[in-house]
Amino acid sequence: MIRHSLYILLRRITRDKVLYFIILTNLAVGFAAFIVLSTFISDQFNYDKQNTKYDRIYRLQLFMDQKENTIKHTWSVTAALSRKDLVDLPEIEKIALIHDVGDNNKSGVFLSVDKKNQFLTRFGYFADQSVFDIFTFRFIEGDQANALVHPFSIVLSKAVADRLFPGGNALGKQVYGENKVVFNVTGVYEDIPVKTSWRPVFILPMLSYKAITGNQDYESNYWSYAFYTYVLLKPNTGSASVDTKIYNALKDYRKEHHPYLRPMSKLYIDPYFENSTYVIIGLISFLSALILILSSINFINLQTANATTRFREIGIKKTLGFNKKRLWKQFMTESVLLTFIAAITGLFLAQLAIPALNNMLGGETFSRTFDNWKLLVVIFVVTLVTGLLSGLHPAYIISSYNPVAALKQKFITEKTNGISLKKTLVTIQFSISIFMLIVGFIIYRQTQFMLKKDLGFNSETVMFSNIVTDQKGSLEPLRQKLLQHPEIKNMSVSDYIPFILPGGDDLNWEGGKPDEKVFVRISNVNYDLVPTFGLKMLDGRNFSREFPADRNKCLINETATKVFGWKDPVGRRIKVYNMDYEVIGVVKDYVVFSVYSPNEPHLYRLAKDSIMNNGVYAVNFVGGQEKNAMEIVKTEFQNFFPNDAFEFRNMQVLTQNENALRAWKGFSKIMTLTAIITIIISSIGLFGLILFLTQRKMKEVGIRRVLGFSHSSLYMTLSSEFIRLIFISVLLAWPAAYYVYRVLPAGANKYDLQIWEFVFATLLILIVAVGTISYQIIKALCVRLVDILKDE
């Protein structure tokens, strides 16, 4: 039977190439889109999966139960927790304490083999030897079991090792860090896959942390929230009991801080109990399902239409004694076969498209499907279900033909009881198309809104670099030299700048309840941060060289005044690290780190007007002079800091590549792609559908023409029904699209919805529909009357 169906199918395909090309393209494009989006979704759940102990790995996080805080969770924790409180817990098998080398947020560290060719390396970490027991590393060189047990050893990723030692054989060689410390290479590991939440490019032993950073008491310090801790639980152990025990241990220090373990499976997708990632993933899954439904509906319509060309086959088979069930089976088999052909084509289309899409979307948004057998199983099942469901209606229609009528090649009119299946399918089709296009617009507009959002500071003509130095003394000579160049407008130094997020402390404020505290981010800045970044003062004044007493003064941001409830902030006092500061000015809120996250209170203290040993230097240059400015800055800083390595970058490197924004950009591109595919599939569907209906109505059109109906009245007769269905679809699609807008996780930065997005998407579908209808109607009108009427 399958052989028989296959023969008939293949012969029909070779005979009616155009129709089958349309049928298969429709399904294959649908499948390709579904597969591409599925790989994306599947990837979201496959982060960190290269770790063999994935199920037992947890990260220590902190819930800060302070109601004024806008950000309540962090995975920056104290070292003391893991060194003192976690060590004796029976549930825990291994603990690894980790700390940034340098500040990965700011820049990183410079590595070299010869103290000359230094290069900036971001994302190096100090870590305990136990990281190798917890995470899965693949060593190329060296002994994994002892790689971090000796002081001043360094383990390199292959990428860094290749850069430092292009000839290979890094093991045992020496590496300079910032030209100050010498490390001995004890291992090289394969680069960690991109889709990993913790990706060190090199690792230093935690036991050298003290010696390198001078931070002597870190292991007993319960106040420095700067470390990361990962644990490996024993098999079959839950994290809940550990959470209780560490909370009890910590509450003597800060009862409002709740440490807890977050399983590795959540680290990427949902680190902080927020639904934003799920909303996006849910939406993409929903859209990919809709695309598949859309092409399945097209398939159903086209197959049903196609069935009218098979009257003879059905008539004969029925006459010869094939029963309904066997014919039904034949057409179901055909449907499933066609679906599989389309799915396999779609699979290959997707493989061809993925590199191009990755190119377009940047990075590794989509990974290859063939590496993901689970996804292949899903695709197989979805294909089978699609084939069966799509075949159901055409097979039922076909196998129910009355043999006598079928042999006479008469069109068999579908029984209708009010709402016909065909009309329902068409309405669903229009609804999905309109919905997808509107959602595409919404996401696009939201992304543009975020991209173009006024960050509140100058990010276009500022360059920055983090410089770690032992040098001391005034910065004034450097400043004066730079300002001599007309290309340079200003220079500032601070420990943090916009988009490099500082830490902070829980502070009490004047007028607040004595036990009420709120987390305030604190940075130390010089006189020139405000003008260099073009920050605006809402109230009071900036620090000034003309006021020598400014050392005890501070600036706060707009959000801080709101959180503190201060109407007249200037002159108020606030205690930071046991020092009293007087507020002299309020900085207008600017986007601190992410257009996505809410604003937090900030406080700025005046730093000494001298070289900072770990400062971020920012230079404001004249617009259009970036190249010259870069040269000048390079030369002047080189002369001023002859012993230190640095690398200036444009601020836009930070602002445009910030994670949330990047995610939105990717999301927007995915949506654009989805919208284009929707239009293609809808057009194919409409084409097939209208082809079928006008084919049926040929005779009616002919008779009407004989009776003298004008072309325009015929046009109205044939198209009015579609137009009506489109309006019903609007009633379904618009509210659904509005709902998507409502749940979109854009935080405080949601753009204002506009009606024209809805109208435009609907018009687009209307144009496609009317275009296709017109084409078919004109075709029907051009056929010679005698040819239509003699056919019976």
Give the integer Cα–Cα distance in Å for 160 and 199: 13
Using alpha carbons, select from 249, 203, 198 the residue that is nearest to residue 222: 249
Sign of CA pseudo-dihedral 540, 543, 544, 548: positive
Concatenated DSSP letters of 116-147: SS-EEE--EEEE-TTHHHHS---EEEE-GGGT
Toward other proteins, which CB reaches closer, 141 or 334?
Answer: 334
Give the integer Cα–Cα distance in Å for 123 and 120: 10
Toward other proteins, which CB reaches closer, 12 or 195?
Answer: 12
Parallel/antiparallel/unpaired status of strands 202-205 and 124-127: parallel
Residue 788 near residue 706 (C-beta atoms within 8 A): no
Residue 302 beta carbon to other proteins: minimum distance, rounded to whole angstroms: 18
Residue 438 beta carbon to other proteins: minimum distance, rounded to whole angstroms: 43
Which residues contact residue 401 at a Cβ distance below 8 angstroms, ignoring those fewer than 6 apart?
311, 314, 315, 318, 412
Residue 12 beta carbon to other proteins: minimum distance, rounded to whole angstroms: 6
Residue 333 beta carbon to other proteins: minimum distance, rounded to whole angstroms: 14
Residue 324 beta carbon to other proteins: minimum distance, rounded to whole angstroms: 7
| Secondary structure element (H or E) that encloses residue 494, with its range | strand 488-494
Q: Which residues bind other proteins (CB under 8 A)?
A: 4, 7-8, 11-12, 15, 312-313, 315-324, 326, 403-404, 407
Toward other proteins, which CB reaches closer, 283 or 332?
Answer: 332
Toward other proteins, which CB reaches closer, 403 or 512?
Answer: 403
Give the integer Cα–Cα distance in Å for 296 and 444: 27
Residue 399 beta carbon to other proteins: minimum distance, rounded to whole angstroms: 11
Residue 784 beta carbon to other proteins: minimum distance, rounded to whole angstroms: 24
649 φ, ψ to 5°?
A: -135, 155
Residue 698 beta carbon to other proteins: minimum distance, rounded to whole angstroms: 21
Using alpha carbons, select from 352, 248, 244 the residue that is nearest to residue 28: 352
Per the rule left: phi > 0, alpha: psi between -120 and 50, beta: everything else, 310 is alpha
CA atoms within 13 A of residue 786's CA, in its CB half-sphere: 0
Q: C-alpha distances in angstroms, 181 versus 61, 101, 161, 613, 621?
A: 32, 12, 17, 16, 34
Residue 34 beta carbon to other proteins: minimum distance, rounded to whole angstroms: 31
Toward other proteins, which CB reaches closer, 407 or 753?
Answer: 407
Residue 206: how many other CB atoms lie within 10 Å: 24
Residue 711 near residue 701 (C-beta atoms within 8 A): no
Toward other proteins, which CB reaches closer, 8 or 680?
Answer: 8
Q: C-alpha distances in angstroms, 577 versus 425, 520, 605?
A: 67, 12, 12
Residue 334 beta carbon to other proteins: minimum distance, rounded to whole angstroms: 11
Q: Which 3-state string (H, E, C) describes 215-227?
A: CCCHHHCCCCCCE
Sign of CA pseudo-dihedral 39, 40, 41, 43: positive
Toward other proteins, which CB reaches closer, 404 or 676?
Answer: 404
Residue 11 beta carbon to other proteins: minimum distance, rounded to whole angstroms: 4
Angle at CA 263, nearest 5°, toward 259 and 269? 105
Amino acid in position 486: P
Helix segments in 644-784, DSSP class H: 651-656, 659-706, 711-743, 755-782
Toward other proteins, which CB reaches closer, 3 or 784?
Answer: 3
| Helices 711-743 and 659-706: angle between axes, nearest 10 degrees | 160
Residue 677 beta carbon to other proteins: minimum distance, rounded to whole angstroms: 32
Length of the chain: 792
Toward other proteins, which CB reaches closer, 181 or 405?
Answer: 405
Toward other proteins, which CB reaches closer, 267 or 302?
Answer: 302
Residue 327 beta carbon to other proteins: minimum distance, rounded to whole angstroms: 10
Toward other proteins, which CB reaches closer, 279 or 412?
Answer: 412
Toward other proteins, which CB reaches closer, 194 or 404?
Answer: 404
Toward other proteins, which CB reaches closer, 119 or 322?
Answer: 322
For 252, the 3-state DSSP assignment is coil
